[in-house]
Amino acid sequence: MTHLNDEIQKLNNPNCAEEEIFYQAVREVLHSVAPLHLSDRRYSLHKIAKRMIAPDRVIKFKVAWMDDRNEIQVNTGYRIQFNNALGPYKGGLRFHPSVNEGILKFLGFEQIFKNALTGLPLGGAKGGSDFDPKGKSDFEIMRFCNSFMQELHKYIGSRIDIPAGDIGVGAREIGYLFGQYKKITSSYDGVMTGKPYFFGGSPLRPEATGYGVVYFTQAMLKTENKEGLKGKICTVSGAGNVAIHTIEKLRQIGAIVVSCSDSGGTIYDADGIDLKLLKKLKLIRCESLEKYLNDRPNASYTPLDRYPDGAHAVWNIPCYAAFPCATENELNGTDAATLIANGCSCVSEGANMPSMPEAIALFLEHKICFAPAKAANAGGVTVSGFEMSQNASMERWSAEEVDAKLQNAMQNICHMVSTTAKEYGSEGNYVAGANIAGFKRVADAMIAEGI
């Protein structure tokens, strides 16, 4: 335990503001795994916490590319290869102006445990760039991806590190990155997942994270003897890949989804979000959500997501279940208190770490069914694992087959998380269950593999 306490103590004095979000993620995991350290001293003896919070390597590189005006632009690219105790490094790439080393270290660290929870042989990694795809032409995106892969290809491979998508990286970007990898290496490797279906992608990979969130939530509500989602009002934040497919699956099972949001504002549509319209606006035209009102005048749009008291418009809407699916730290203590006061019974995280620590503390205190991201949104990496299997065996599975396997996988993760929480004295606490179960699987592999 001294070893674990020493590591927690160090986190109270982060010396770099950029790294604070990484420390936030580490603090949560290390606090959760204290009971594990008490029950088995091997974890302290082998200094697992100290070794786990240091990435295996941080790769940082320059990405120079030519825009449509023939001007040279320069961005920074990263790949954080965090831990490969369980299998090759695996984790998405994020293209967003907010990307820095601290954000990617937090995402890479979380990815280790998420991947462990899937039961698949996958290590944890994350990467990306401060490049902003918004407003760029297809050719600019292609030239950026080509330059990015020019450097990244040196560090990845189907048995080494297999990147995928994340914010700002969808099928188009994966296609360009994969094409450039193939050109440079002359190798048609399953080196990336999230590829379009017609050249090696898995059916249902775009849908997997959002669908998985709903499958996990259904399993959690059943385990906790709570009412299901059918006929219930649900709120969702975000309007990207994860949000759209969470909304799609919620609608399929008969829930009523009344909100979505983007970086500009929030839509509230009491009649239920018009999914076809949402897809047209965000997936095809890449427009602001404000345009939603042109077709749905009875809906409302709150242009600023945050009110002066720091509350978020989405979380002011009364609901049975809330699904934060946009980005990290988007749901604070004020939002959590509002959700609870409005009778919310369940919060499931589609985005990575969207709830701030004070929000999670409130959810746990009020016995809200709370599904943490590393368990609830593991459906994306699960189907990425299926894509790797299909690529390696040259098989193609049907959408129905993938969907059934995904549903089964999410139920298994839910079962593992809830039984682990119970085993370590925190029944009903899915944060503790996910952290302990994920940590244990990686730690046991690290001990077995030696230093």
Residues that bind ligand NDP (CB under 6 A): 165-168, 209, 238-243, 262-264, 325-328, 350-352, 377, 380
List strands edge to edge, sheet with 266-268: 259-261, 266-268, 300-302
CB of 62 to ligand NDP, least distance (A): 24
Contacts of residues 390-394 at CB distance under 8 Å and 24 or more positions apart, as own/partner, are 390/200, 390/202, 391/158, 391/190, 391/200, 392/158, 392/190
CB of 92 to ligand NDP, least distance (A): 6
234's tokens: 């649900």
Residue spans of alpha helices (H) in 296-345: 333-341
Q: Name the CA dihedral angle for 418, 419, 422, 428, rounded to a multiple of 10 degrees.
A: 10
- Count the Cβ atoms, other than its own, within 10 Å of residue 389: 15
How do 124-129 and 72-83 pair as beta strands? Answer: antiparallel
How far CA 316 is from CA of 264, 297, 303, 319, 371, in Å, comes to 17, 21, 14, 9, 20
Closest to ligand NDP by CB, 238 vs 385, is 238
Whether 276 sits among the annotated catalytic residues: the reply is no
Give the C-alpha separation, 267 to 289, whole Å.
7
CB of 170 to ligand NDP, least distance (A): 6
How many helices and strands in the chain, by DSSP H and E? Answer: 18, 13
- Count the Cβ atoms, other than its own, within 10 Å of residue 178: 25
Give the C-alpha separation, 173 to 23, whole Å.
30
| 73 phi, psi to nearest 5 deg | -115, 150
Closest to ligand NDP by CB, 118 vs 147, is 118
Closest to ligand NDP by CB, 4 vs 192, is 192
CB of 430 to ligand NDP, least distance (A): 17
- Are the C-beta atoms of residues 96 and 168 closer than 8 Å to each other? yes
Say which amino acid occupies 221. Answer: L
Give the C-alpha separation, 391 to 205, whole Å.
13
Give the C-alpha separation, 315 to 429, whole Å.
22
CB of 291 to ligand NDP, least distance (A): 12
Residue nearest to ligand NDP (CB): 240
CB of 150 to ligand NDP, least distance (A): 24
Closest to ligand NDP by CB, 4 vs 321, is 321
Closest to ligand NDP by CB, 76 vs 263, is 263
Give the C-alpha separation, 211 to 207, whole Å.
6
Closest to ligand NDP by CB, 165 vs 433, is 165
Give the C-alpha separation, 420 to 345, whole Å.
22
Give the C-alpha separation, 224 to 109, whole Å.
28
CB of 424 to ligand NDP, least distance (A): 26
Closest CA to 122 of 381, 444, 436: 381
CB of 306 to ligand NDP, least distance (A): 10
Catalytic residue, candidates 126, 195, 232, 440: 126
Closest to ligand NDP by CB, 37 vs 79, is 79
Closest to ligand NDP by CB, 165 vs 203, is 165
Q: DSSP string covering 412-451, please?
A: HHHHHHHHHHHHTT-TT-HHHHHHHHHHHHHHHHHHHH--
Closest to ligand NDP by CB, 242 vs 432, is 242
CB of 58 to ligand NDP, least distance (A): 19
- The residues annotated with a catalytic role in the active site are 126
